[in-house]
Amino acid sequence: MKTAITDMFGIDVPILAFTHCRDVVAAVSKAGGMGVLGAVAHSPEQLEIDLRWIEDEIGDRPYGVDLIVPAKYAGSDNGGLTMADIVNLIPDEHRRFVNDLMVKYDVPPLPTDEGSATSRSGGDLSGTAAPFSAAQADPLLEIALAHQPRLLVNALGPPPAHMIDRVKEEGRLIGALAGKAQHAERHVAAGIDMIIAQGAEAGGHTGEVGTMVLIPEIVDAVAPVPVLGAGGIGRGRQMAAAMALGAQGVWCGSVWLTTDEAETHPVVKQKFLAATSSDTLRSRSLTGKPARQLKSAWTDEWDDPANPRPLGMPLQPILVGEARARIERASYRAGSGAEKLANYFVGQIVGSMNVAKPAAQVVFDMIDEFIESVQSLSRLLED
């Protein structure tokens, strides 16, 4: 295939795979697409290890790195908050609610040596950067630029000016996700090389506009800057639809969560395989910003009007971080409260993710179905 995206990155097919798993990055890049490693949960040390491993696996094939640096979050107007600042801002009502939730669902505490930084007494958090902040992301950006990713992406709002400048200095390309045409226009004005038009069907942080409407709006708004379609795309027919709407390729995330290589929690993976496209919702319960995820007892509890509303970013992830670790550790026990609470980010394409397969096979299946779809459409014009 030949599109602006295949030309931009020197890849065979315009499929970019967003994933937190380095094995998926390597598998998709080897299959002719391009893997993009989501690095928000990485420590600097782990990112260094994973990028070195990816480059050893794929050689000179291209790959990307995705960070999350929101333009606005609690304390951003004052230069950002430290972990100590955030801990002090969390209301006691919310702490009690999360603690009561763990008791209600009989979720055991973490072993002492696995407790979170905020739960251990005596630790000095005054110099620790907040999650989802520029202070946390900047060291990751520098590590990424010390390696060879062709693309850096900011997954939540416009990349900060210093991030754009650093990426350009190093001769790399930079992309950003957009949920509205106005967002995409601002990205391009700031110097972004590629736009990911992400519809509300997508997993993780999304806006409210559906992919079918969003892609042509953004394509028209930012031409000739290339656009990738995202949100509800995991099959060849959906890829064909996105490109018929003007996209030069697709950005897929959820579909890799049930692949053989994925590091998805086994309990959550089984929930994904059994889920329908109606089993997701947008909720602020994990990060403080609306993010599509699997429905579970966790989202039910946070949606209950009798309970506290989720806090903003980055307070909410700090509030729930230890509870989520406890749930993950205990949810292996069938029928447990932790199993009922377990969930993760995923898009509406989850209804088609009902068979586990290798990541490369997902790529090949998408291309086969894409070709069949295009050929089927072309026959409509035959005399």
- 376 pLDDT exceeds 60? yes
Query: What integer pLDDT is reported at residue 160 of this predicted model?
Result: 85
Domain shared by 98 and 224, yes or no:
no
- 126 pLDDT exceeds 60? no
Domain shared by 292 and 369, yes or no:
no
Q: What is the pTM of this model?
A: 0.91
Domain shared by 146 and 112, yes or no:
no
Question: 326-332 — which CB contacts under 8 Å span 24+ positions?
Answer: 326/102, 326/107, 326/108, 326/109, 326/110, 327/107, 327/298, 328/265, 329/108, 329/110, 329/114, 330/107, 330/108, 331/265, 331/267, 331/268, 332/266, 332/267
Q: Which of 83-97, 127-141, 182-196 has the lowest mean pLDDT?
A: 127-141
Local structure of 116: helix, strand or coil: coil
Query: What integer pLDDT is reported at residue 70 of this predicted model?
Result: 65
- 112 pLDDT exceeds 50? yes
353, 234 contact by CB (below 8 A): yes
Residue 351 belongs to a domain: no
State the CATH number of the domain containing residue 237.
Answer: 3.20.20.70
DSSP 41-84: T--HHHHHHHHHHHHHHHTT---EEEE---S--TTGGGT--BHH
- 119 pLDDT exceeds 50? no
Domain shared by 119 and 138, yes or no:
no
Residue 15 belongs to a domain: yes
Residue whose token pair is 């708004």: 221
Burial of 161 (0-12, 13-18, 19+ CB in 10 A): exposed
Query: What integer pLDDT is reported at residue 158 of this predicted model?
Result: 80
Q: How far apart are CA 32 and CA 367, in angstroms?
A: 10
Domain shared by 93 and 239, yes or no:
no
Residue 331 belongs to a domain: yes
Give the tens place of pLDDT for each residue, 201-260.
999 999 999 999 999 999 999 999 999 999 999 999 999 999 999 999 999 999 999 999
Query: What integer pLDDT is reported at residue 121 of this predicted model?
Result: 35
Residue 346 belongs to a domain: no
**Banded pLDDT at 116 (limits 50, 70, 90):** low
Give the tens place of pLDDT for each residue, 267-324.
999 999 999 999 999 999 999 999 999 999 999 999 999 999 999 988 999 999 999 9
Residue whose token pair is 């480059």: 55
Domain shared by 59 and 169, yes or no:
yes
Domain shared by 303 and 215, yes or no:
no
Query: What integer pLDDT is reported at residue 264 of this predicted model?
Result: 96
Residue 205 belongs to a domain: yes
The encoded tokens of residue 36 equal 């993009």
Domain shared by 18 and 62, yes or no:
yes
β-strands 291-294, 204-205 pairing: antiparallel
Residue 144 belongs to a domain: yes
Query: What integer pLDDT is reported at residue 18 of this predicted model?
Result: 98
Average pLDDT estimate for 185-193: 95
Residue 123: domain span: 76-129+263-341
Give the tens place of pLDDT for each residue, 45-62.
999 999 999 999 999 999
Query: What integer pLDDT is reported at residue 123 of this predicted model?
Result: 46
Give the tens place of pLDDT for each residue, 138-173.
899 999 999 999 999 998 778 888 889 999 999 999
Closest C-alpha to 329, from 21, 109, 106: 109
**Banded pLDDT at 120 (limits 50, 70, 90):** very low
129, 137 contact by CB (below 8 A): no
Domain shared by 168 and 60, yes or no:
yes
Query: What integer pLDDT is reported at residue 113 of this predicted model?
Result: 75
Residue 84 belongs to a domain: yes
116 vs 151, more confident: 151
Domain shared by 240 and 188, yes or no:
yes
DSSP summary character for residue 312: P
**Banded pLDDT at 355 (limits 50, 70, 90):** very high
Across the chain, the runs of DSSP E, i.e. the strands, are 15-19, 34-38, 64-67, 151-154, 173-178, 194-198, 204-205, 227-230, 249-252, 280-283, 291-294
- 104 pLDDT exceeds 70? yes
Q: How far apart are CA 26 and CA 283, in angstroms?
A: 31
136 vs 332, more confident: 332
Closest C-alpha to 285, from 275, 297, 276, 273: 297
- 134 pLDDT exceeds 70? no
Domain shared by 242 and 140, yes or no:
yes
In percent, how much of the chain has pLDDT > 70?
A: 91
How many structural domains is the chain composed of? 2
Residue 353 belongs to a domain: no
Query: What integer pLDDT is reported at residue 131 of this predicted model?
Result: 61
Give the tens place of pLDDT for each residue, 62-93.
999 999 876 555 455 555 567 777 888 999 99
Domain shared by 138 and 19, yes or no:
yes
